[in-house]
Amino acid sequence: MSISYAPAGKSGKWDGTMDWLQMLSGASLILFMWCHMLLVSSVVISPRLMNGIAEFFEATGMAQVGGPLIFLVFLTHFVLAARKIPFRFEGQKVIWQHARMMHHGDTWLWVIQVVSAMLILVMGSIHMWVVLTDLPITAAKSAARVQTGFWAVFYLFLLPLAELHVGIGFYRIGVKWGFIKDRERGKFKRGENILTLTFICIGLVTLARFLFFSLN
């Protein structure tokens, strides 16, 4: 009986291409999230500074074009990553059992990333839709939304989820593509944890500023 290896070869090459696209889209979103957090947190220094930055993005068309483009990259990244996520209950049960049995830190990081991805898909889509359909962005408008109460709780959940997902993703990209060697994993994990906590703290301070920002 003869066996053809052509389909397997093509399949392997296609999987490799999609892995590259997943990595590139993930790295792009990580960079965007960090820049986005720093730019929005400018309101802590001065609402005028945040408005000035927002006006620059509006005037150059980056908000109108870049926003939908980021949303497209966001959805594309989820579709690419979803190839390796078990959606059936049986598969989820096996993954959970293996994670508990192996007691492997990086396996648990993957589980956390998958769970956070599901929540971010819904919550992140809501956030981007609300912002992109209510341009231009201003400090007063953002503060008014946060001060409604519901949105404050919404962002208190989305903020740590997003930063945790981004931090783990940054670490896993480094491990998967060989940028982080085995002996360096512990040190890199500690650095990634510090970075994640730093961005969460920046986000919480920013939320507090919006929550108590005077609209007058």
Q: Is 77 annotated as a binding residue?
A: yes
Q: Is 36 annotated as a binding residue?
A: yes
Instruction: Name all contacts of 36-45 with Cβ < 8 Å and 24+ positions apart.
Output: 37/163, 37/199, 37/202, 37/203, 37/206, 38/202, 40/142, 40/206, 41/202, 41/203, 41/205, 41/206, 43/139, 43/142, 43/206, 43/209, 43/210, 43/213, 44/205, 44/206, 44/209
Find all residues with CB under 8 Å of 111, minimum gap 6, and list them.
95, 96, 99
Q: Is 165 annotated as a binding residue?
A: yes
Q: Is 104 annotated as a binding residue?
A: no
CB 18 within 8 A of CB 83: yes
CB 159 within 8 A of CB 119: no
Q: Which residues are annotated as a binding site?
A: 36, 77, 127, 165
Binding residue numbers for heme b: 36, 77, 127, 165
